[in-house]
Amino acid sequence: MKAKIIGTILTLLTPIILTGCFGEEAPTSNSADPGPGKVTYESESYFIFVPEDWEIIERKDLPSDAPAEFQVAFKNNVKHDIFTASTGITLDLFMNEISSEDFMINSKAEIKNAVVDYVEISAEGNILVFEGKKSAIEPIIRFKTIYIMSEKVGYTITAAYVPDEDESVVNMTEEMLNSFTLK
């Protein structure tokens, strides 16, 4: 499990991959209506609403050495001076079923060791908000991550942006996180 969590952390922090609140479980549905200005990104097991002008970066679009856990990232079309806001989804397979909250707690312990200047903003249920950077020379990034377990599959949905990001961009990432739905 440690290797999987480290892979997830690397996925969150690797620049090439670019990187609302749920309770214990994600909503489930068989249909999606994204509303105006959004599109539905759909996989075999979930869907998420994405602003129609954000770039979609799928696993197939990445180099072969990208972490295996990476599924998809959504990158803002408006570039910030030091970091472009994005939302990403990773998927981990587990030997045993655990709760979404335990998934977050285990991941948090690993993130603390992997991130420079880690500062926890909040950790409630299966949601972790923190700031940190990949290395001492990188900018500080805020991460809001939702951890969802479904049987032995762990979904990590992470929004990443600079702490002083435009409020409208932060709201877009919140809407994306909140729209994540298991089928």
Q: Where are the domains of the chain?
A: 2-25+54-162
pLDDT at 12: 47
Low-confidence stretches of the chain (pLDDT beneath 50): 1-25, 27-30
Q: What are phi and psi of 38, to 5 degrees?
A: -130, 155
pLDDT at 177: 96
| H-helix segments, 14-133 | 100-114
H or E element that contains 12:
helix 2-13
pLDDT at 32: 62
pLDDT at 20: 31
For domain 2-25+54-162, is the CATH number 3.40.1000.10? yes
pLDDT at 31: 52
